[in-house]
Amino acid sequence: MNAAMPNRRTYAILGCGMMGREHMRNLALVDGAELVAIADSNTGSREAAATLAEDLGQSITLYADNSDLLKSQEADAIIIASPNHTHFEVVQRAMEQHKAILLEKPMCTTVADAEALAKLQSDYAPLFWVDMEYRYMPPVARFIERVHGGETGLVKMLSIREHRFPFLPKVGDWNRFSRNTGGTLVEKCCHFFDLMRHILQDEPVRVFASGGQDVNHLDESYDGETPDILDNAYVLIDFAGGARAVLDLCMFAEGSEQQEDIYALGPQGKLEVQIPAGKVTWSPRDRSGPFVEAVDTPKDALAAGDHHGATYFQLRDFHAALVNGGQAKVTARDGLRAVAMGAAAHQSIDTGQPVELDFTS
């Protein structure tokens, strides 16, 4: 370590597709974080990463194979941003290096793999952090702070609405099939199930869902196979403490003014946050409101990715934990439970029945 830079730590990224390059841009904003290497088997992704690194002034080594990077580099931390279905294998190889790990969501594509990985992590001494960006959007973080401050009273109802654009193209269009993603409610919505647990500080006990693939990707074909990813769903979740939460997802609503709306309602009133508006609105029951708080997000963080600045703020906290020996704020247990909630929602859609959950162990 350079004595003149006690907060300097080096990073390597496994997977330099869309999300890997977002991590590149945001690492460049984190004081003391130095990217030294990237691995990706896709030539186009490596070339795009090389161009971006040059633009950012990052001096990196490029590898075509994850194993070559892991054997050759002495990075302090490894960011895993490879496709979902590779996470279980890739993270185990990374753990063999005994380095700090930031693992992109979803932790795994199946509950069984997520359970196995969480068990492995329980004996893993280095920092292990599951990447759940939505907690870190500045307006959402402020909303959560106010909920946890008791503004609404004990939350009885929590609503998360995401009305957005379809799944983006990925290398080889791997994200068009549930076998690779874990399914839409695991791949995309693990963020929201994590948010529910985090906001309510409670565990789910029952999941009931209805959803389908009604608009998107139906005219696409890959080796004669039509994509099978859901593009809309309602998911209702009962929590142990009595709160109810609902997810309203639509992925053919790119014309929406707001992409995400989150509402928390308690006996004292309603708190709401909107993205991208960045406004937190308090509506007390005495009708004296509404009172609107505008929450700014730094422009450089906004420009560095597609998650309203969240990638920067999460990387900043990860880096601080790495430097100071801190604990992960998003754990393998959190990652496992978000996957389990998404998988239960898919099971409910398939069977038409509610699914009971037991997270007491």
- Residue spans of the domains in the chain: they are 9-133, 135-298+332-356
As a dihedral over the C-alpha atoms of residue 351, residue 191, residue 302, residue 296, rounded to 10 degrees, the angle is 110
Query: What does the alpha-carbon distance between residue 135 and residue 142 come to, in Å, rounded to a whole number?
Result: 10
* Structure tokens given for 251: 């992925």
Separation of CA 167 from chain center: 15
Query: What does the alpha-carbon distance between residue 320 and residue 227 come to, in Å, rounded to a whole number?
Result: 41
Q: Look up the pTM and report it.
A: 0.95
Q: Is residue 1 over pLDDT 50? A: no
Summarize the confidence of residues 287-296 as an average pLDDT.
97
Summarize the confidence of residues 145-153 as an average pLDDT.
98
CATH number given to 9-133 = 3.40.50.720
At 2 the pLDDT is 47
At 361 the pLDDT is 66
Q: Is residue 289 over pLDDT 80? A: yes
Q: Is residue 260 over pLDDT 90? A: yes
CA angle 71/48/191 to nearest 5° reads 80
Expressed in percent and rounded to 5, the helix, strand and coil fractions of the chain are: 35, 25, 40
Count CB-CB contacts under 10 A for residue 209.
26
Q: What is the percent of the chain where pLDDT is above 70?
A: 98
Angle between helices 310-324 and 18-27 (to 10 degrees): 60
Task: Kindly state the helix (H) or strand (E) to which residue 123 belongs, with its residue range.
Answer: none
Q: What architecture is the 135-298+332-356 domain classified under in CATH? A: 2-Layer Sandwich (3.30)
Reported as half-sphere exposure (CB side, CA atoms, 13 A), residue 247 has a value of: 30
Query: What does the alpha-carbon distance between residue 348 and residue 123 come to, in Å, rounded to a whole number?
Result: 33
At 301 the pLDDT is 96
Q: Is residue 321 over pLDDT 50? A: yes
Query: In terms of DSSP H, where are the helices of the chain?
Result: 18-27, 43-56, 66-72, 87-95, 111-121, 138-148, 178-181, 184-187, 190-200, 299-303, 310-324, 332-351
Query: What does the alpha-carbon distance between residue 135 and residue 314 come to, in Å, rounded to a whole number?
Result: 9
At 74 the pLDDT is 83
Question: Residue 246 pairs with which residues in a beta bridge?
Answer: 159, 236
Single-letter amino acid code for the residue at 155? V
Question: Residue 103 pairs with which residues in a beta bridge?
Answer: 80, 130
At 150 the pLDDT is 98
- Summary mean pLDDT of the chain: 96
Same fold, 9-133 and 135-298+332-356: no
Find tokens 């890959």 and name the residue: 222
Query: What does the alpha-carbon distance between residue 194 and residue 146 come to, in Å, rounded to a whole number?
Result: 18
Question: Which residues fall within 8 angstroms of residue 3, CB to CB, at 6 or more apart?
Answer: none
At 284 the pLDDT is 98
Q: Is residue 51 over pLDDT 80? A: yes
Summarize the confidence of residues 126-135 as an average pLDDT.
96
Angle between helices 332-351 and 190-200 (to 10 degrees): 120
**Three-state DSSP state, 223:** coil
At 4 the pLDDT is 59
The 10s digit of each residue's pLDDT in 175-231 is 999 999 999 999 999 999 999 999 999 999 999 999 999 999 999 999 999 999 999
Asked whether 105 and 335 are in contact (CB, 8 A), the reply is yes
The 10s digit of each residue's pLDDT in 2-18 is 445 789 999 999 999 99
